[in-house]
Amino acid sequence: MHEGYKGPVPDAANEYDAVELAAEYGRISFYFTEDEEHTKENLYNRLVQSRELLKNSDVKFSLFSASYRLSAGVYRLMPEDLFEGDLKQIVEERYFNYYSDEST
């Protein structure tokens, strides 16, 4: 049986800052649907593009994922992973493909 969410629950009586909530609980997932080959190299290039887009927009979040389909990509990157990490190394170490033995 699947258990429901057990994390913190905001108090409805309080006012919250949307930016603070996004930084604490926000999750961004990019699913790329182009016809390009679904390789680690192409995913790395998409991560670089995503990093620049998010850096320029100053969007706050707590977790980031990027994939070509629901089961092939990199998942649960923290903001410091995306903005300060070695994205090529992250893809090599954390790429996961449920339908292939290409997972690391």
Split at pLDDT 50, 70, 90, the class of 75 is very high
At residue 37, does pLDDT exceed 90? Answer: no
7 domain residue, yes or no:
no
102 domain residue, yes or no:
no
Task: Count up the domains in the chain and report the number.
Answer: 1
> C-alpha distances in angstroms, 8 versus 3, 5, 59, 73, 96?
15, 9, 22, 28, 29
CA separation for the pair 73, 69 (Å, rounded): 8
Position 69 scores a pLDDT of 72
Position 53 scores a pLDDT of 92
At residue 95, does pLDDT exceed 80? Answer: yes
Domain that holds residue 84: 18-97
Average pLDDT value for residue range 52-81: 88
Position 11 scores a pLDDT of 73
